[in-house]
Chain A
Amino acid sequence: EIVLTQSPATLSLSPGERVTLSCRASQSVSSYLAWYQQKHGQAPRLLIYDASNRATGIPARFSGSGSGTDFTLTISSLEPEDFAVYYCQQRSSWPTFGQGTRLEIK
């Protein structure tokens, strides 16, 4: 099983700030990594696939990068609706998810 470790567990920031979330894989997953956003009581929403491609309808302030074992999700300027939990997911083998990073309002 490929284990994904996300850091930090929680981030407290203000609207307008730039944020970078990290996801590290226990072995190389090439570029086969996605990012999802989950708001309280809602289903996850696909943001980024294959490390750096924005999903349909996702604003340009969201960007992803990385390959191999180290990946980042960057939000260039936080909007109020961006405060949520973010999960990474690999598809190099059967899918596994990271434990999530909670982005909260400072």
Chain B
Amino acid sequence: QVQLQESGPGLVKPSETLALTCTVSGGSISSYYWSWIRQPPGKGLEWIGYVYYDGRTNYNPSLKSRVTISVDTSKKQFSVKLSSVTAADTAVFYCARGGGDHYNHYTMDVWGQGTTVTVSS
């Protein structure tokens, strides 16, 4: 059974770059689309972007100028970097899987447990 686990700093200073990694276990990283989604405290979900296993990416237009998502298939990991963060970027960040044989690349069937990132000095 595929499992995803987010990791990275829980506290980031304003104007710095947030960086998180998601590790895939129990299944293949190939042939899937790997997304990042965030959820500010008490609010709804926002899709950040995805990376395909071959490195192709697609981003939320509202975040595109600040986001980079990459994949390392040898480590079965994918990562997100969000630059110039402010307090408004404080959120729980989830990684998730889309695509495969059954689902479209934007339909996310496996999610990590989430990691909280706070932006504060």
Q: Do A and B come from one complex?
A: yes
Is A44 in contact with B104, judged by CB distance below 8 angstroms? no
Is B109 in contact with A46, judged by CB distance below 8 angstroms? yes
Question: In the complex, A34→B35 CA distance in Å?
Answer: 16
Is A99 in contact with B44, judged by CB distance below 8 angstroms? yes
A56 contacts B by Cβ under 8 Å: yes
Interface residues on A, range: 20 to 34
Residue of chain A at shortest CB distance from B108: A46
| Set of chain A residues within 8 Å of B106, measured between Cβ atoms | 32, 89, 91, 94-95
Instruction: Convert B37-74 into 0s and 1s, putting 1 for each residue whose CB lies closer than 8 angstroms to a CB of A.
Output: 00000001111000000000011111000000000000
Cross-interface CB contact of A56 among B44, B60, B102, cutoff 8 Å: B102
A62 contacts B by Cβ under 8 Å: no
Is B111 in contact with A43, judged by CB distance below 8 angstroms? yes
Question: In the complex, A95→B107 CA distance in Å?
Answer: 9
Is B103 in contact with A43, judged by CB distance below 8 angstroms? no
B112 contacts A by Cβ under 8 Å: yes
Complex A-B: 8 CB contacts under 8 Å: A32-B106, A89-B106, A94-B58, A94-B59, A94-B60, A94-B106, A95-B106, A97-B44
